[in-house]
């Protein structure tokens, strides 16, 4: 049985009671019957030997059920969004699209593992680190503060960068930005093609796991391209990420194996330039004294 099938079976077992409750809350009878039919088909399928079925067949049956789960998660996320996040209460943001929405450029299996497993681990690690540092303040015991500061830096940067990463990708996207963002790119990098080549090579040459980032630098009043090893090393402070690309192996290896350059080249097809433009229009208003 593939790792994907095992993960799907585990996910369904963990969430089936929750899904049953959600089914009861659907008001539209026709919609409710469609979801119930899909739920029963998935439950029956997962009770059999999955080796007899293709991953595509499993996913086709599961997609309707997962759409119900994902829709509710987005509603809950918006409902509980507050003006700040209290200590140790960070949450995994839902994907703004389905797992298979970025295919063929990024496979659904990668999106599932990347979002639900890897990103969740950064959220969990950040929450734990924050609570441990709060405990240290309350007890006055700072013997492990260096460890928990490192954990907060690694997991916090991982959580925040991934939250941006999902937003700056979209199905049926790619191409070139327009308007003010394109003008700024041409001003700061010479041309869009020069910017794209610089960003692509920076991403491909990150050593180990890490990121390539287009950032706004309030101290220089312009955009720059940076690398980050892991999530937080070899980068700069006092900057705002606009466009980020995850080049950790978990972001591409299942599909592209060790051909990171191929992954980077294909990734440009899913860049959500309107989302990047929105980030730029807000970030450019933040300026410090030039230095």
pLDDT at 130: 97
Residue % of the chain over a pLDDT of 70? 86
pLDDT at 47: 78
On the question of pLDDT at 1 being above 60, the answer is: no
pLDDT by residue (tens digit) across 187-222?
Answer: 999 999 999 999 999 999 998 889 999 999 998 999
The residue with greater pLDDT, 75 or 47, is: 47
pLDDT by residue (tens digit) across 231-261?
Answer: 777 666 778 999 999 999 999 999 999 899 9
On the question of pLDDT at 268 being above 70, the answer is: yes
pTM above the 0.85 mark? no
pLDDT by residue (tens digit) across 48-95?
Answer: 877 767 766 666 666 667 666 666 665 555 555 566 788 999 999 888
Q: Helices 273-283 and 179-189 sit at what angle, rounded to 10 degrees?
A: 70
């Amino acid at each position: 049985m593939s790792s994907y099938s095992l993960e799907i079976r585990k996910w369904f077992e963990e969430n089936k009671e929750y899904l049953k409750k959600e089914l009861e809350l659907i008001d539209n009878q026709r919609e409710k019957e469609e979801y119930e039919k899909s739920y029963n088909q998935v439950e029956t399928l997962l009770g059999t030997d999955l080796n007899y079925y293709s991953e595509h067949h499993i996913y086709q049956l599961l997609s309707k059920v997962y759409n119900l789960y994902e829709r509710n998660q987005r509603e809950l996320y918006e409902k509980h969004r507050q003006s700040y996040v209290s200590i140790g209460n960070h949450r995994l943001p839902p994907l703004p699209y389905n797992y298979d929405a970025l295919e063929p450029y990024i496979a659904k299996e990668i999106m599932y593992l990347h979002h639900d497993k890897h990103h969740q681990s950064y959220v969990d690690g950040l929450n734990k680190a924050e609570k441990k540092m709060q405990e240290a303040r309350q007890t006055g015991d700072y013997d492990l503060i260096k460890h928990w500061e490192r954990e907060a830096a690694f997991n916090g940067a991982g959580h925040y960068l991934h939250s941006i990463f999902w937003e700056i990708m979209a199905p049926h996207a790619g191409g070139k930005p327009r308007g003010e963002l394109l003008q700024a790119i041409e001003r700061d990098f010479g041309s869009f093609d020069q910017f794209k080549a610089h960003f692509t090579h920076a991403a491909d040459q990150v050593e180990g796991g890490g990121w390539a980032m287009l950032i706004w630098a309030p101290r220089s009043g312009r955009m720059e391209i940076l690398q980050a090893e892991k999530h937080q090393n070899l980068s700069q402070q006092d900057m705002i990420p606009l466009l980020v690309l995850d080049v950790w192996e978990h972001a591409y290896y299942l599909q592209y194996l060790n051909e990171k350059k191929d992954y980077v080249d294909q990734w440009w097809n899913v860049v959500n330039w309107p989302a990047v433009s929105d980030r730029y229009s807000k970030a450019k208003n933040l300026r410090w004294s030039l230095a």
